[in-house]
Homo-oligomer: A and B are copies of this chain.
Amino acid sequence: MPEPRIHGREFVRTFFTTPTAEKGVEDSAKKLRKAIELRGMQAPDVWVPDNEDATAPNMRDEGAQNIAEVVAEGGAEFPGEIHPRVVWHRNDPEARYKGLQHMLEIADPDKGAVENIDGFVIPEVGDIDDWKKADEFITIVENEYGLEEGSLNMSVIIESGQAELAMGELRDEMGKPTNNLERLFLLVDGEVDYTKDMRAITPTGALPEWKELRHNTSRGASAAGLIAVDGPYDDIRDVDGYRQRITENSAMGMNGIWSLTPGQVEVANKEPLPPQEGSWLIDADGREVELTDEGDVQVYEGDRVSLEETDDGYVLTVGNDEQTLDEDELKQELVDLTSYVPSMDDIVDSMEEFEAAKEAGKGAIAMTRATTVRIDGVEVDIQSDRMWDEATYQALMTPVKLFKDVYENRPDQHEELAELYSEDVVERAMEVGE
């Protein structure tokens, strides 16, 4: 009984923005032309020709024309969805009217782009009545051009306290006869403008983490059948930081993120997928360190954790903390310190094991993880159990569902997926839970 999603994509990993028009270059649409050629892991799930912040104000009329032209030419072959961002502001009717004009320009059937435009992205929305104004303009565009009402999606950038609160009202508002808010698709956080709107100050000017905003966006998406996407990660060279942000977001149920470059797209397309190889981690005095896989044994090679066998038992030292332990205590301590990151293969194995147990009439089974850990030459066998019931099975199915959604919607990534995993694993993943 999953919540029904109302759109083709169940998941969106990547939201990639491109300036629509640049001054002082021969072809003002050059960046758009380059972006629409992206394929495979470098192509985003959602591509956003950005006729708002990424484009200078006085270039936006030209930008709207560029979008229509470039999408008319290359949109049919683009492997992701296309959702241009137009101008909008809850406090500025001029910006809103300009947004309508740009949507009319982009969606004009005479330009030949509209069949490959999946929707529009509306920034700077305010309370729910402001969202309805944008929805109404899209309805007008649809009506003007003979498109079905609701056929163009609407995604919003959450970058104000008002919009954060509005996400709590979506279930009450979507489905009312006087709007078409069922067209809603993505809820995208915009942390820089949100910081301005909240009037937050940090000593270094760094962005606050805004964990509550991200939780509320993820929850809003969950409650209304939409998809949550995090905002831009400015430090483009910091790939580790970007990965870490994606992992943190996923743990909140926010499975997509903004990408500013094809390099970021590639990272963010791959990161949410389960790894090819499982790995053991150890909490080495506050830092997660991967153990070295030597086949049957997992080896800790750092110097933050040390282990010595003595006449009475063992001495385990983590950072500055020394503990004298007997064998059982040592095993328990190592179970607590270690964790296992399952591979796609492992996940599918577990799913199949639980399904078999269910067929055999069991409601809950214990899943066992066992290995041998070696620290400073001392080897210890450890083992832990986890009880799985239907809810555990469902909850741990999410990464598999994400994989299936990608596989079904992005044929251009099949080759890279088959390289990442073996053909066999891909096949089993596509079948499990069906």
* Residue positions of A touching B, CB distance < 8 A: 1-4, 11, 19, 23-24, 53-56, 58, 89-92, 95, 124, 127, 160-162, 164-165, 168, 171, 190, 192-193, 195-206, 208, 211-212, 215-216, 218-223, 234-235, 238, 247, 250-253, 255, 272, 281, 285, 303-304, 319-321, 336, 339-342, 361-364, 386-387, 389-392, 394-399, 401-402
Contacts and interface: CB of A to CB of B under 8 A. Distances in A.
10 contacts: A1-B90, A2-B91, A3-B91, A3-B160, A3-B197, A192-B391, A199-B398, A201-B251, A201-B255, A204-B281
B92 A1 contact: yes
Question: Which 5 residue pairs spanning A and B have beta carbons closest together?
Answer: A198-B253, A161-B222, A161-B223, A196-B395, A161-B219
Contacts of A341: 203-204
Contacts of A216: 212
Nearest to A56: B363
A272 B203 CA distance: 9
A234 B366 CA distance: 11
Contact of A1 (B91, B250, B255, B387): B91
Contact of A196 (B4, B11, B394): B394
A46 B431 CA distance: 42
Given A203-B341, A219-B165, A339-B206, A53 B398 contact: no
A386 B199 contact: no
B402 A201 contact: yes
Contact of A222 (B54, B198, B205): B198
Nearest to A346: B205
A221 to B, nearest CB: 8
A54 to B, nearest CB: 7
B395 A251 contact: no
B255 A196 contact: no
A165 B171 CA distance: 10
Copies per complex of this chain: 3
A198 B252 contact: yes
A203 to B, nearest CB: 5
B127 A223 contact: yes
Nearest to A363: B56
Contacts of A222: 160-162, 197-199
A80 to B, nearest CB: 20
A338 to B, nearest CB: 10
B253 A363 contact: no
A395 B212 contact: no
**Max count, chain B CB within 10 A of own CB: residue among A199, A250, A398:** A199
Contacts of A204: 281, 339-342
Contacts of A221: 161
Given A53-B391, A196-B394, A208 B252 contact: yes
Nearest to A275: B203
A197 B95 CA distance: 37
Most B CB atoms within 10 A — which of A168, A223, A402? A223
A293 to B, nearest CB: 16
Contact of A223 (B162, B215, B285, B395): B162
A251 B200 contact: yes
A386 B253 contact: no
Contact of A250 (B90, B202, B206): B202
B201 A398 contact: yes
A199 B202 CA distance: 32
Given A197-B222, A234-B387, 5 more contacts: A200-B251, A201-B255, A204-B342, A212-B219, A235-B386
A203 B274 CA distance: 8
